[in-house]
């Protein structure tokens, strides 16, 4: 008879033998791996917002689900301010981007619908699709023509439900952008819904940090996800869209209905973060200056610019990738190696993220360390 968890132990041993066993690593070295793009996570601005909220009696915990006593005025204020800032009808606050995506995809698409998703879409979207009653199909990365062909083929085969196109505006492991305008045109022509995950673009792109899909807000066929734990430096996520979207999730989204509401204190801090992003464009300007410097220094090493604050250095082999990461980390720079299944087989890489937590000297030193690691 097998001992309890023996199969789990065997699976872990397989991961270890293939060098894919994950470890939790402390925060050591200069930050070239976080998503704290605007340096807000440890900022005095957000700390002050938290202190002010506490002084005014905002509680740490909500005490229950939003449909019971957990619905706090700070939640509603955050959602109202976010809707006004992003230009959408309504917004709904979740504890994380993962929770928001899982609720969205498991709730909104119905039986008889079709979800067409980019092949590189986030794991949280896959979790929601796994729970969904709708059929889900993968489409080649950033291939608008395949999206179009898949829509036509499905309808020709008798599909009559709603089609949901799901993409990220900025992909977290490649740093490349989705063809948002072309996808919107396709959604309009084919009468489909368009879901855009703006996790890595919110706060970074656009004149007031509205992201790469900010110009799409307010349309009845568009839903965006905006995480608060990356450029906004706090925690949680907002689903932005129509009032119907919000009301349906509140009434039918099981992970929303049966979850304790997010911290009201975090909602208050998120409100402050939205104001900072909207009112301080100099943060984005400073970030893009750093990105340009990094791109210039990496170019002689044959490392191409991604056009964003996320710069992948694809090595391919798992072992070589992790060895290179250790060399860079030993030099004092926190750059992580990324392996399958997070990225496709044969594309293991170092993932660099540029943030306001670094200085010019740090960039020069990192470039030197990467050069030595790739030898």
DSSP string, 255-286: HHHTSBPPPHHHHHHHHHHHHHHHH-HHHHHH
Known catalytic residues? Answer: 35, 122, 168, 172, 197, 200, 230
Can you tell me the mean pLDDT for 316-337? 93
Q: Given this model, what pLDDT does residue 10 score?
A: 92
pLDDT exceeds cutoff 80 at 1 = no
Q: Given this model, what pLDDT does residue 25 score?
A: 83
Model confidence band, residue 316 (pLDDT cutoffs 50, 70, 90) = very high
Yes or no: say if 64 and 262 are a contact pair by the CB < 8 Å rule. no
Length of the chain in residues, anyone?
375
Can you list the domains of the chain with their CATH numbers? 24-40+281-373 (3.90.1150.10), 58-279 (3.40.640.10)
Predicted TM-score (pTM) of this structure: 0.94
Q: Given this model, what pLDDT does residue 296 score?
A: 94
Q: Given this model, what pLDDT does residue 19 score?
A: 79
Helix (H) or strand (E) holding 301: none
Q: How far apart are CA 326 and CA 109, in angstroms?
A: 43
Can you tell me the mean pLDDT for 176-203? 98
């Amino acid at each position: 008879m097998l001992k309890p968890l023996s199969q789990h132990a065997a699976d872990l041993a397989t991961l270890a033998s293939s060098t894919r066993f994950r470890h939790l690593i402390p925060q050591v070295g200069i930050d070239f791996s976080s998503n704290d793009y605007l340096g807000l996570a440890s900022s005095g601005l957000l700390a002050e917002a938290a202190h002010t909220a506490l002084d005014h009696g905002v509680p740490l915990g909500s005490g229950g689900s939003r449909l019971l006593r957990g619905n706090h005025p700070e939640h509603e204020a955050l959602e109202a301010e976010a809707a006004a800032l992003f230009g959408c009808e309504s917004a709904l606050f979740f504890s994380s981007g993962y929770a928001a995506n899982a609720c969205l995809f498991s709730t909104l698409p119905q039986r008889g619908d079709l979800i067409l998703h980019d092949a590189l879409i986030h794991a949280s979207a896959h979790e929601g699709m796994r729970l969904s009653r709708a059929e889900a199909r993968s489409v080649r990365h950033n291939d608008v023509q395949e999206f179009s062909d898949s829509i036509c083929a499905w309808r020709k085969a008798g599909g009559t439900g709603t089609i949901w196109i799901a993409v990220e505006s900025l992909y977290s492991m490649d740093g490349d952008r989705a063809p948002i305008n072309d996808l919107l045109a396709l959604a309009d022509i084919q009468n489909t819904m368009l879901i855009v995950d703006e996790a890595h673009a919110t706060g970074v792109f656009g004149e007031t940090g509205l992201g790469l899909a900010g110009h799409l807000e307010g349309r009845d066929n568009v839903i965006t996800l905006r995480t608060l734990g990356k450029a906004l430096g706090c925690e949680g996520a907002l689903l932005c869209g129509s009032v119907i979207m919000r009301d349906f999730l509140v009434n039918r989204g099981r992970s929303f209905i049966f979850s304790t509401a997010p911290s009201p204190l975090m909602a208050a801090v998120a409100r402050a973060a939205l104001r900072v992003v909207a009112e301080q464009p100099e943060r984005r300007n400073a970030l893009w200056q750093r990105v340009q410097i990094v791109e210039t220094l990496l170019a002689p090493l044959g490392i191409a610019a991604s056009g964003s604050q996320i710069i992948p250095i694809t090595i391919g082999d798992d072992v070589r990738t992790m060895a290179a990461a250790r060399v860079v980390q030993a030099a004092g720079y926190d750059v992580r190696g990324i392996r399958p299944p997070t990225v496709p087989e044969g594309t293991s890489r170092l993932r660099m993220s540029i943030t306001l937590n670094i200085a010019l000297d740090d960039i020069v030193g990192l470039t030197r360390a990467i050069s030595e690691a790739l030898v």
